[in-house]
């Protein structure tokens, strides 16, 4: 049956266009109940069970299916995902509304409907002849959809009666809309709110904790006092933004100070790019990453960013007076030029909440169901939740979702989602850091795995099309020990002309991952492989990453080769790119390659090739540095693991050899050569990587720090910076240069991927290269796969596809890749921090030499070279007499009593693991030398113990 809808639309030119939409109604859409004779198995995919006996509800004891409305799906998805909830009918009307309103919830509901064990059935009610309803005149689309949902619920109950008159199978309508529920009951449809139904499941009391509390009444704090000003409605905010009264931006909370945040203003305006917010009332219930509207305060109310470290550590307190006292600490006398544009949040444009990992701070009130949850991310405020399982959840890592934040509550309200496991447990903590950094880490789906080549795999004649056979070349790979995902291999040989041929051969991942299929989409979503201390989260399935794409020795592998002809001065005479087949003659570690180069007795072809590469690499590096490329430093650490327990037993900074530099030089050269080629061919849609020059203000701290040691650092160009860093040497303090380079790294901007047609500045500041991309690591970076596809089209080795030449799609892809790379970096740092804690937990208390990296108002940030470890020494601690502190931002320096500390000063600190806060166990540092009476601690600390209470300690040692 065909229905058609006609409506008129005004065109841009002012004409009127008649649009006719055809809508097909069918009789053959199944109800989803298996065994329904009337439908005759018309349904496909997961179906409802014929006898749903899994839930016993005190409200509806007979077997039943659930039919939720849109708001239940949007707000109670955590309840619906619980294993206890099965046999649910998801209407097409509801699914479409959810898709329009929340992409993350839509994805979650699709995952649930695809899970066979959950028995969720999607019913296409909009195309079923008996459940389709037309919109009445004067009826809103919302009311029409509510009516369509009720019509489907009514039809189901009548339909099921025919199927099973004897066993009274029913459909229960779940809605939190009071009017909708009343209308459903009037129409004879059994209807309950989500809360009523969940509370009726007496066998599953834990489900109550997962309910999102949506009504703000009843969850208000006892005082009922209004703390925050009202958020303006969206219409007023949009008017204000348009007129310039308000500014729109992303809210970024501070990790170090819960009373301070910044808003990054959207748009191209250079002034007021960053607005400071200070004090709870000005933050006005915004949460990290929300899109907010802010109002600028008058200039006489502007403030400077605070140097105070303030953490919200009160226990269940709603004491606003105390908060106001703390806010006064932030306001200190500062010079005029330190003041920054300051504002307050007037409304929320879009919430960017996500489920948060953390721990429960159990209430001191006996039998209380209300507790505070402390997120692991210090930028997120504590969340008030109701739970009956507080005793069980104490000492566990849990996930909580925010439901809302009433004006009269110091904290937002939320609900319990999931228990991850015991705090401190390695598996649990790894799961936490992956979730917190939004790293996709679920196993690859069947749809993805089904696209992998069938084993045993070998190179066919078809694979050899448009490919050169380079298996005769003496190719080898050089990687860190234990590396299984080998992306790159190298060769170097002398030509008859006397010149040298150098080849960089990169795994041909794009041969296996074809554009647009499930494997490609999953790789694009993940964006990068994430390397944790003991675990690797692959971007592509292991069959590819560690086997078929990995350029292992003595097996034939497909590659994409970049081959140069060079003279002995490393000047490039010719460059060519070709898809190839190679057979690596050796998989070496950096140490093994170095040993071959240095050996007086080894002169085989692999060693000769390595020596040629190393000689050229040194010339290339010298040329790059003369060009202004920066050699920066970061203290990278490597853990030595116990083979039995996998706990870290030693911790040391990574040693870099000549061979590290050799591989790096040729990877850089290949990336630059490929960047030039793809930009030549595709000027509008080449995927490139740039590194913006930092604004001069970024360098202030570096220049001041060097000045305090009587050194001058010039920062007008990258070359000037590189040269002044090379000259900044001190005979009495050899480590100073490394410290300066570490500090210079902190001044840098983040390098980013971009689409050439969307930008004009291509320059890579750190490498001093006018153009750059990523080509050399396609096993672990999705950007490289796109670059391979572009290059393949450029050299005629593969065909193009529409998305490859769509600059807007490419720009969106770059945005996701930049986000994924940043998160991977943070996850890796968090993994190092966690393993460092494990190391110091077993090592006990140690004293080590350290250097000051930054001075704060009440603390020193120090670096311990031996461990590559950074930490903070605090001087204002609770329950201890406060020392006399004088902070000077100009030098910068911090005077404690009568001792002055500058950046790069050498100190001695005591390091220990502070487990007094289970959630944020941290490495705690105290000053040992120089000695300051009443401040510094003795080296002998045998009688000191700052661990958690004995009961909790036993828990951790299990």
pLDDT of the residue at 612: 94
Rounded (10°) CA dihedral 886, 887, 893, 895: 20
User: DSSP assignment, residue 186?
Assistant: H
Q: How many residues does the chain have?
A: 958
Q: What global pTM score does this model have?
A: 0.77
Q: Is the peptide bond before 892 cis (omega within 30 degrees of 0)?
A: yes
Mean pLDDT value of segment 772-784: 95
pLDDT of the residue at 941: 47
Q: Which of 73-77, 111-115, 310-314 has the highest mean pLDDT?
A: 73-77
Mean pLDDT value of segment 945-957: 38
Instruction: For 212-270, write each residue's pLDDT tens digit.
Output: 876 544 344 444 578 888 999 988 999 999 998 999 999 999 887 888 899 998 876 55
> Which CATH number is 44-210's, of 3.40.50.1010, 3.40.190.10, 3.30.428.10, 3.40.50.2300?
3.40.50.1010
Mean pLDDT value of segment 542-548: 92
Instruction: For 3-21, write each residue's pLDDT tens digit.
Output: 666 666 677 777 777 776 6
Residue 690: CB atoms within 10 Å: 20
Instruction: For 665-694, write each residue's pLDDT tens digit.
Output: 999 999 999 999 999 999 999 999 999 988
Superfamily of domain covering 844-929: Nucleic acid-binding proteins (2.40.50.140)
Lowest model confidence (mean pLDDT) among 169-178, 208-217, 496-505, 857-866: 208-217
pLDDT of the residue at 894: 86
User: Would the pLDDT of 205 be above 70?
Assistant: yes
Lowest model confidence (mean pLDDT) among 54-68, 593-607, 633-647, 836-850: 633-647
pLDDT of the residue at 663: 93
Residue 81: partners with Cβ closer than 8 Å, 6 or more residues away: 108, 112
- Rounded-to-integer distance, Cα 213 and Cα 403, Å: 6
Q: What is the 3-state secondary structure (H, E, C) of 40-52?
A: CCCCCCCCECCCC
pLDDT of the residue at 949: 38
The hierarchical CATH code for the domain 234-311+334-420 is 2.40.50.690
pLDDT of the residue at 756: 93
**What is the percentage of the chain residues whose pLDDT exceeds 70?**
86
Instruction: For 149-198, write each residue's pLDDT tens digit.
Output: 999 999 998 888 876 656 678 899 999 989 999 999 999 999 999 989 99
Q: What is the 3-state secondary structure (H, E, C) of 360-389?
A: EECCCCCCCCEEEEEECCCCCCCEEEECCC
pLDDT of the residue at 491: 95
pLDDT of the residue at 1: 56
- C-alpha distances in angstroms, 469 versus 144, 461, 464, 466, 560? 66, 12, 8, 10, 11
Mean pLDDT value of segment 410-439: 89
pLDDT-based confidence at residue 698 (cuts at 50, 70, 90): confident
Enumerate long-range contacts of 234-243, CB under 8 Å, 24 or more apart.
234/347, 234/349, 236/347, 237/293, 237/346, 237/347, 237/349, 240/293, 240/295, 240/346, 241/293
| Six token digits for residue 735 | 């480590």
pLDDT of the residue at 329: 58
- Rounded-to-integer distance, Cα 927 and Cα 938, Å: 9
Instruction: For 323-360, write each residue's pLDDT tens digit.
Output: 665 556 555 555 566 788 899 999 999 888 888 998 88
Helix then strand count (H, E) for the chain reads 24, 38
426-436 and 807-843 helices, crossing angle to 10°: 150
Mean pLDDT value of segment 299-311: 75
The position carrying tokens 């004090």 is 279
The position carrying tokens 């009516």 is 147
- Rounded-to-integer distance, Cα 670 and Cα 791, Å: 12
User: Would the pLDDT of 954 be above 50?
Assistant: no
- Rounded-to-integer distance, Cα 476 and Cα 551, Å: 9
Instruction: For 926-943, write each residue's pLDDT tens digit.
Output: 888 888 877 777 765 443
For residue 853, give the H/E element and its range: strand 846-855
pLDDT of the residue at 563: 97
Instruction: For 592-611, write each residue's pLDDT tens digit.
Output: 999 999 988 988 999 999 99
Mean pLDDT value of segment 710-724: 83
pLDDT of the residue at 327: 59
pLDDT of the residue at 82: 87
pLDDT of the residue at 942: 42
Provide φ and ψ at 295, rounded to 5°: -110, 130
Do 86 and 48 touch, CB atoms closer than 8 A?
no
| Six token digits for residue 801 | 């596809």
User: Would the pLDDT of 811 be above 90?
Assistant: yes
| Six token digits for residue 765 | 């500041």
Instruction: For 517-529, write each residue's pLDDT tens digit.
Output: 999 999 999 999 9
| Six token digits for residue 113 | 């409907």
Residue 495: partners with Cβ closer than 8 Å, 6 or more residues away: 501, 565
C-alpha Rg value of the chain to the nearest Å? 32
Mean pLDDT value of segment 91-100: 91
Instruction: For 101-153, write each residue's pLDDT tens digit.
Output: 887 788 888 888 888 888 899 999 888 888 998 888 888 888 999 999 999 99
For residue 794, give the H/E element and its range: helix 782-794
The full set of domain ranges for the chain reads: 44-210, 234-311+334-420, 446-506+515-520+529-691+752-825, 696-747, 844-929
Whole-number average pLDDT of the chain: 84
Q: Is 638 exposed, middle or buried (0-12, 13-18, 19+ CB in 10 A)?
A: middle
Residue 123: CB atoms within 10 Å: 25
DSSP string computed for 104-147: HHHHHHHHHHH-GGG-EEEE-GGGBTTT--PPPTT--HHHHHHH
Residue 771: CB atoms within 10 Å: 20
pLDDT of the residue at 700: 83
Q: What is the number of alpha carbons within 13 Å of residue 842 lying toward its C-beta? A: 14
pLDDT-based confidence at residue 835 (cuts at 50, 70, 90): confident
The yes-or-no answer to whether 44-210 and 844-929 have a common fold is no
Where are the extended beta strands (E) located within 485-594?
A: 488-494, 500-507, 530-531, 536-537, 556-566, 572-583, 586-589
pLDDT-based confidence at residue 496 (cuts at 50, 70, 90): very high
User: Would the pLDDT of 85 be above 60?
Assistant: yes
**What is the percentage of the chain residues whose pLDDT exceeds 90?**
36
């Amino acid at each position: 049956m065909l229905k058609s809808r006609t409506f008129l639309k005004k065109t841009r030119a002012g004409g009127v266009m008649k649009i006719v939409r055809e809508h097909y109604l069918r009789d053959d859409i199944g109800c989803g109940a298996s065994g329904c004779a009337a439908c005759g198995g018309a349904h496909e995919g997961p179906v409802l069970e014929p006898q749903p006996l899994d839930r016993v509800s005190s409200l509806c004891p007979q077997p039943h299916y659930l039919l939720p409305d849109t708001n239940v799906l949007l707000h109670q998805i955590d309840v619906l995902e619980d294993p206890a909830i099965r046999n649910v009918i998801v209407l097409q009307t509801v699914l479409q509304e959810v898709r329009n309103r929340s992409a993350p919830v839509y994805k979650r509901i699709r995952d649930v409907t695809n899970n066979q064990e959950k028995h969720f059935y999607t019913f296409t009610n909009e195309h079923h002849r008996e459940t389709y309803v037309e919109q009445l005149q004067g009826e809103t689309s919302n009311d029409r959809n509510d009516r369509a949902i009720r019509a489907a619920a009514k039809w189901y109950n009548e339909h099921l009666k025919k199927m099973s008159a004897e066993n009274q199978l029913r459909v229960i309508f779940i809605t939190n809309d009071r009017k909708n529920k009343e209308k459903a009951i009037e129409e004879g449809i059994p209807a309950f709110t989500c809360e009523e139904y969940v509370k009726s499941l007496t066998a599953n009391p834990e489900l109550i904790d997962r309910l999102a509390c949506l009504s703000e009444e009843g969850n208000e704090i006892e005082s009922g006092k209004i703390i925050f000003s009202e958020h303006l409605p969206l219409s007023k905010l949009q008017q204000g933004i348009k007129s310039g009264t308000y500014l729109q931006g992303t809210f970024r909370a501070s990790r170090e100070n819960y009373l301070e945040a910044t808003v990054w203003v959207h748009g191209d305006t250079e002034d007021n790019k960053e607005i400071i917010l200070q004090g709870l009332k000005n933050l006005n219930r915004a949460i990290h990453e929300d899109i907010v509207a802010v109002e600028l305060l008058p200039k006489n109310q502007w403030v400077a960013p605070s140097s105070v470290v303030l953490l919200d550590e009160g226990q269940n307190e709603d004491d606003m007076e105390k908060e106001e006292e703390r806010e006064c600490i932030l306001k200190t006398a500062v010079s005029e030029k330190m003041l920054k544009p300051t504002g307050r949040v007037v409304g929320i444009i879009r919430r960017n909440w996500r489920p948060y990992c953390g721990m429960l701070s159990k209430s001191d009130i006996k039998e209380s169901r209300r507790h505070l949850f402390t997120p692991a991310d210090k930028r997120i405020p504590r969340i008030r939740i109701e739970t009956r399982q507080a005793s069980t959840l104490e000492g566990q890592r849990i996930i909580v979702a925010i439901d809302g934040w009433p004006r009269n509550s110091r904290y937002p309200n939320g609900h319990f989602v999931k228990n991850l496991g015991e705090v401190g447990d390695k598996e649990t903590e790894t799961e936490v850091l992956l979730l917190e950094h939004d790293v996709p880490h679920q196993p690859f789906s069947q749809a993805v795995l089904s696209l992998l080549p069938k084993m045993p795999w070998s190179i066919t004649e078809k694979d050899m099309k448009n490919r050169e056979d380079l298996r005769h070349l003496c190719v080898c790979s050089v990687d860190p020990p234990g590396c299984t995902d080998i992306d790159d291999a190298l060769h170097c040989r002398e030509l008859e002309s006397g010149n040298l041929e150098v080849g960089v051969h990169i795994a041909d991942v794009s041969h296996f991952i074809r554009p647009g299929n499930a494997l490609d989409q999953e790789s694009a979503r993940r964006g990068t492989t994430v390397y944790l201390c003991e675990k690797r989260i692959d971007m592509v399935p292991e069959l590819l990453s560690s086997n078929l794409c990995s350029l292992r020795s003595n097996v034939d592998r497909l590659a994409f080769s970049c081959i140069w002809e060079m003279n002995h001065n490393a000047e490039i005479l010719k460059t060519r790119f070709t898809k190839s087949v190679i057979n690596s003659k050796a998989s070496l570690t950096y140490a093994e390659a170095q040993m071959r180069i240095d050996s007086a007795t080894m002169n085989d072809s692999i060693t000769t090739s390595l020596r040629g590469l190393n000689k050229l690499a040194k010339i290339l590096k010298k040329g790059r540095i003369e060009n202004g490329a920066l050699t920066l430093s970061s203290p990278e650490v490597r853990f030595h693991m116990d083979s039995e327990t996998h706990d870290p037993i030693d911790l040391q900074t990574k040693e870099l050899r000549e061979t590290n530099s050799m591989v790096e030089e040729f990877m850089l050269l290949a990336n630059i050569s490929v960047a030039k080629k793809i930009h030549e061919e595709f000027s509008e849609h080449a995927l490139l990587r740039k590194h913006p020059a930092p604004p001069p203000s970024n360098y202030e701290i570096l220049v001041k720090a060097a000045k305090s040691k009587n050194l001058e650092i010039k920062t007008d160009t990258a070359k000037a910076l590189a040269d002044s860093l090379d000259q900044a040497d001190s005979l009495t303090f050899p480590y100073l240069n490394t410290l300066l380079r570490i500090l210079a790294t902190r001044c840098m901007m983040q390098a980013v991927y971009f689409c050439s047609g969307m930008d004009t500045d291509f320059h890579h500041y750190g490498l001093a290269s006018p153009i750059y991309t990523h080509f050399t690591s396609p096993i672990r970076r999705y950007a490289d796969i796109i670059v391979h596809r572009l290059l393949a089209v450029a050299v005629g080795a593969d065909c193009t596809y529409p998305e490859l030449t769509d600059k807007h799609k490419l720009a969106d892809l770059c945005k996701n890749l930049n986000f994924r790379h940043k998160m991977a970096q943070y996850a890796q740092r968090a993994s190092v921090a966690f393993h460092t804690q494990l190391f110091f937990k077993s090592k006990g208390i140690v004293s080590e030499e350290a250097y000051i990296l930054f001075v704060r108002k009440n603390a020193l940030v120090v670096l311990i070279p031996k461990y590559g470890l950074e930490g903070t020494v605090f001087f204002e601690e609770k329950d201890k007499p406060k020392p006399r502190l004088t902070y000077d931002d100009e030098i910068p320096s911090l005077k404690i009593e009568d001792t002055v500390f500058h950046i790069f000063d050498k100190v001695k600190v005591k390091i220990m693991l502070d487990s007094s806060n289970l959630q944020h166990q941290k490495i705690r540092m105290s000053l040992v030398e120089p000695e300051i009476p009443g401040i510094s601690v003795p080296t002998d600390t045998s009688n000191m113990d700052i661990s958690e209470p004995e009961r909790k300690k036993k828990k951790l040692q299990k």
